[in-house]
């Protein structure tokens, strides 16, 4: 019987796993997961995310074991060492072929090309699949084959190209003989303990599916109305699972459409809006695949790279610690620091604050988010930051500058979210809580690091000047 090796990466599940499904057709399957601690460190992957990955690999190992599949856990220093490690594993198993799902990010696809080369050299076939998005990057294009750079036409095309078979998730393969005992990841990798965030972030595909089902059953209908209020549990919070692949976007779309009688049209506002958010994720994956320069620190709008972005380390650290003196900004940053996750509305508020009120380089904010987020994905994080900084595809106009006080009044009207994250402000009445400096301040809480009105004027002036310079050539 043929022997196939499946390499698991950002797809830590057994259901709707094209590579696993493909490998199991008439062959004996073994699985491998490669720990790359140095790569994770260099990439600035968050401790929350690393720990969630480790725990999810353990769950995966158990699931695979029930299917009679053994999961080998190997370690390589970084991506440079990856091809050799995978080859060794394949050869020791006598594998005929290697199966895996593709990743778009630049380092990952370089690594994968190197692996494919090494394998072919050794006479081992390589078969790749796509599952990070529902529609593979590069597949949703304009009639002339070029990529979309504006979301709305992309979404229209995506919806027009939608076919049920894009959405129907694949089953887990049938069990293949006796159950091997599951292997486990180490308790610590580098400085990271596997139990970090254990209470917050439930690992594995079963937890992900439970979360999806409860969201579809009880919250998706009110998603549109409640998604912007960080004090409410209005969003799905499935992003950590999507990031590490304990659930697939197809499974999410399938569940959303099943809740609507299997149809796409005529869904409720809640379902439509949530599906739209999943399409945003697909949009940014397409964008990153079409413009690899985005993964190398370049703005989509090239001319914005020459704006005088700041690098003030002290200002950056105040923002990072959540000590800017602007309550909603600080609440968002502290939510990120303590949980690894931040509500979408606050990602916009804190990102806009960094790029437009502090006029710090948006790349510094992007990198910090990646280093902290449990759900960090290069494509979506970069897309979101460039949107906020007005440097990206289909970005917000440069003069659209969120005012964190106004945003707090609109989206945290009771002040409860700020109170929950910023204990220094917990005793302030709602009418004082968003601008404590106007009411004598609060013990232990800093005064605002910028005057919002002045900062806004300054940013508008810089952009106007930048635009004039760009026109001059």
Partner DNA sequence: TTTTGAGTTGTTCGA
Partner DNA sequence: GTCGAACAACTCAAA
Is 463 considered catalytic here? Answer: no
Pairing of strands 97-101, 2-8: parallel
**Residue 451 phi, psi (nearest 5):** -85, 115
Segment interacting with DNA, rule: CB under 7 A, options 112-120, 144-152, 252-260, 318-326: 144-152
Does position 56 bind DNA by CB under 7 A?
no
Q: Which is nearer to DNA, 81 or 222 (CB)?
A: 222
Half-sphere exposure (CA, 13 Å, Cβ side) for 8?
33
Find out whether 292 and 378 touch, Cβ atoms under 8 Å.
no
Is 198 considered catalytic here? Answer: no
Is 309 considered catalytic here? Answer: yes
Residues 242-281: x/- map of binding to DNA (CB under 7 A)?
Answer: ----------------------------------xx--x-
Among 77, 88, 156, 439, the residue binding DNA under the rule CB under 7 A is 156
- Number of Cβ within a 10 Å radius of residue 354: 29
Task: Show contacts with DNA in window 275-314 (CB under 7 A).
Answer: 276-277, 280
Among 34, 27, 29, smallest CA distance to 12 is for 34
Token digits for 201? 């972030």
Does position 139 bind DNA by CB under 7 A?
no
Residue 430, Cβ density class (10 Å: 0-12 exposed, 13-18 middle, ≥19 buried) = middle
Task: Show contacts with DNA in window 341-370 (CB under 7 A).
Answer: 344-345, 348
Segment interacting with DNA, rule: CB under 7 A, options 95-103, 316-324, 432-440, 450-458: 450-458
**Would you say how long the chain is, in residues?**
473
CB of 146 to DNA, least distance (A): 7
Does position 154 bind DNA by CB under 7 A?
yes
Find out whether 249 and 380 touch, Cβ atoms under 8 Å.
no
Is 280 considered catalytic here? Answer: yes
- Which whole-number Å values give the CA distances from 183 to 31, 191, 330, 409, in the listed order? 11, 21, 41, 51
Token digits for 252? 């999410």
Does position 460 bind DNA by CB under 7 A?
yes
Does position 453 bind DNA by CB under 7 A?
yes
Q: Which is nearer to DNA, 79 or 402 (CB)?
A: 402
Residues 384-413: x/- map of binding to DNA (CB under 7 A)?
Answer: x--x------x-xx-xxxxx--xx--x---
Q: Give the distance from CA 209 to its chain's centroid.
A: 18
Phi-psi region of 406 (alpha: psi -120 to 50; beta: other; left: phi over 0): alpha
Q: Which is nearer to DNA, 180 or 466 (CB)?
A: 466
Return d(Cα 335, Cα 342) in angstroms, integer.
Answer: 6
Return d(Cα 421, Cα 48) in angstroms, integer.
Answer: 18
Q: Which is nearer to DNA, 153 or 190 (CB)?
A: 153
Does position 472 bind DNA by CB under 7 A?
no
Among 3, 166, 456, 458, the residue binding DNA under the rule CB under 7 A is 456
CB of 359 to DNA, least distance (A): 16
Out of 7, 201, 274, 309, which one is annotated catalytic? Answer: 309
Pairing of strands 188-189, 192-193: antiparallel
Find out whether 220 and 271 touch, Cβ atoms under 8 Å.
yes
Is 344 considered catalytic here? Answer: yes
Known catalytic residues are: 277, 280, 309, 344, 362, 385
Binding site for DNA (CB under 7 A): 142-143, 146, 148-154, 156-157, 228, 276-277, 280, 344-345, 348, 384, 387, 394, 396-397, 399-403, 406-407, 410, 452-453, 456, 460, 464, 471
């Amino acid at each position: 019987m043929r022997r196939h090796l499946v390499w698991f990466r950002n797809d830590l599940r057994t259901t709707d796993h094209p590579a696993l499904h493909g490998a199991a057709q008439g062959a004996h399957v073994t699985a491998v997961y490669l720990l790359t601690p140095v790569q994770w460190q260099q990439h600035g992957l968050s401790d929350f995310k690393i720990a969630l990955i480790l725990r999810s690999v353990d769950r995966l190992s158990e699931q695979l074991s029930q299917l009679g599949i053994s999961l080998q856990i190997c370690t390589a220093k970084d991506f440079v060492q990856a091809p050799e490690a995978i080859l060794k594993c394949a050869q020791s198993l006598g594998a005929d072929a290697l199966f895996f799902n593709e990743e778009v990010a630049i380092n990952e696809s370089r690594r994968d090309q190197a692996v494919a080369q090494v394998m072919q050299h050794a006479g081992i076939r390589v078969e790749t699949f796509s599952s990070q998005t529902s529609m593979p990057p590069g597949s949703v294009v304009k009639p002339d084959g070029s990529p979309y750079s504006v979301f709305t036409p992309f979404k229209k095309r995506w919806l027009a190209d939608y076919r049920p078979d894009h959405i129907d998730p694949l089953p887990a393969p049938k069990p293949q003989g006796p159950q091997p005992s599951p292997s486990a990841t180490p308790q610590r990798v580098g400085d990271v303990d596997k139990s970090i965030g254990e209470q917050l972030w439930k690992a594995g595909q079963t937890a992900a599916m439970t979360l999806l089902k409860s969201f579809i059953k009880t919250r998706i209908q009110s998603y549109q109305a409640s998604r912007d209020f960080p004090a409410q549990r209005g969003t799905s919070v499935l992003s950590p699972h999507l990031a590490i692949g304990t659930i697939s976007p197809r499974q999410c779309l399938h569940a959303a459409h099943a809740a609507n009688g299997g149809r796409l049209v005529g869904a409720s506002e809640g379902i439509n809006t949530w599906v739209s958010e999943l399409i945003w994720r697909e949009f940014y994956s397409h964008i990153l695949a079409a413009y690899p320069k985005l993964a190398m620190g370049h703005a989509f709008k090239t001319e914005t790279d020459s704006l005088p972005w700041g690098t003030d380390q002290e200002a950056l650290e105040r923002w990072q610690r959540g000590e800017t003196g602007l309550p909603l900004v600080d609440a968002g940053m502290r939510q990120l620091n303590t949980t690894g996750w931040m509500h979408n509305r606050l990602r916009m508020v804190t990102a806009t604050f960094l790029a437009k009120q502090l006029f710090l380089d948006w790349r510094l904010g992007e990198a910090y988010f990646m280093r902290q987020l449990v759900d960090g994905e290069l494509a979506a994080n970069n897309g979101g930051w460039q949107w906020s900084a007005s440097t990206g595809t289909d970005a917000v106009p440069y003069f659209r500058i969120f005012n964190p006080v106004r945003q707090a009044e609109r989206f945290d009207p009771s002040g409860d979210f700020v109170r929950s994250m910023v204990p220094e402000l917990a005793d302030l009445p709602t009418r004082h809580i968003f601008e404590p400096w106007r009411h004598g301040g609060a013990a232990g809480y800093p005064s605002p690091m910028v005057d919002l009105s002045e900062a806004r004027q300054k940013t508008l002036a810089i952009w106007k000047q930048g635009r004039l310079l760009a026109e001059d050539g």
